C-alpha cells in the first residue's frame, strides 16, 4: 500500500491527496510529499518554492493565477480549516471555466494539487488558519492575475461566513472570468 491516496476530481489534473497517517496516544506521523509516488500519480513537479500564510475567519484569498511563470501548487492546511478552490482557465480544456472546491483542514490532513493553467483561492472557515503550498515555479508579481471571487459565470458556491468574505484591496479589483484573456494558458 502506498503512503498516499490520489483522488481525481471532476477537473482534469486537479487531485485530492490523502496521506496515510500513523497515530497513537503520543500523536501522529505522516509524509506530506514523496517525489516518486507523486510522479507516479502524475504530479511530477519539480517544486521550487514553498509559501505559507496565516489568516483569520472570513478571509478570502483569490482567485489568483500567474500569466507567466505559471505555477502548479500542492496546498495543505497546518492549522484550522479552509474551503479551497481551483478554476480551470485552460482555453482548450473541456472543463474551461469550471471549478472544484474541497475543505482542507489540520484535522482531515487532505492536500490539493492544482496544476498550471488554473486559478486558485481559499476561504478561511476557522478562527485562524495556517496554509502552506509548494509551487512549481517562482512567484513573479509582474505576472499576477485574478478572477473575481463572486463571478457569476464561474459560480463558486463559497460557504457562508458571518459578515461575508474579507478581501484584500487587490483581490477586490479582480475582473470577471469573461473579461479575461487566457491565451497564456494555451499550452496547458
Identify whether 139 is a catalytic site residue: no
How far apart CA 130 and CA 79 sit, in angstroms, is: 5
Catalytic pick among 113, 120, 133, 174:
133
Q: Are 123 and 161 in contact (CB under 8 A)?
A: yes
**What is the DSSP secondary-structure string of 111-143?**
EEEE-TTEEEEEEE-SSEEEEEEEESS---GGG
Helix (H, G, I), strand (E, B) or coil at 158: coil
- Number of Cα atoms under 13 Å in the Cβ half of residue 4: 25
Question: What residues pair up with 4 in beta bridges, in sequence order?
Answer: 19
Cis ω before 46 (30° cut-off from 0): yes
Helix (H, G, I), strand (E, B) or coil at 55: strand
Identify whether 64 is a catalytic site residue: yes
Catalytic pick among 64, 113, 120, 174:
64
Active site residues: 64, 133
Amino acid at each position: 500500500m502506498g503512503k498516499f491516496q490520489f483522488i481525481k476530481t471532476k477537473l482534469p489534473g486537479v487531485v485530492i491527496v490523502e496521506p496515510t497517517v500513523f497515530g497513537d496516544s503520543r500523536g501522529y506521523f505522516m509524509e506530506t510529499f514523496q517525489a516518486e509516488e507523486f510522479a507516479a500519480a502524475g504530479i511530477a513537479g519539480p517544486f521550487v518554492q514553498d509559501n505559507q500564510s496565516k489568516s483569520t475567519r472570513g478571509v478570502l484569498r483569490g482567485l489568483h493565477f500567474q500569466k507567466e511563470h505559471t505555477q502548479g501548487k500542492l496546498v495543505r492546511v497546518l492549522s484550522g480549516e479552509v474551503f479551497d478552490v481551483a478554476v480551470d482557465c485552460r482555453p482548450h480544456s473541456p472543463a474551461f471555466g469550471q471549478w472544484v472546491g474541497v475543505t482542507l483542514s489540520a484535522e482531515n490532513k487532505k492536500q490539493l494539487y492544482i496544476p498550471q493553467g488554473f486559478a486558485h483561492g481559499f476561504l478561511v472557515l476557522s478562527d485562524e488558519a495556517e496554509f502552506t503550498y509548494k509551487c512549481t515555479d517562482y512567484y513573479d508579481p509582474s505576472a499576477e492575475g485574478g478572477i473575481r471571487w463572486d463571478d457569476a459565470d464561474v459560480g463558486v458556491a463559497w460557504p457562508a461566513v458571518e459578515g461575508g468574505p474579507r478581501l484584500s484591496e487587490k483581490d477586490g479589483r479582480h475582473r470577471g472570468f469573461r473579461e479575461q484573456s487566457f491565451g497564456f494558458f494555451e499550452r496547458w
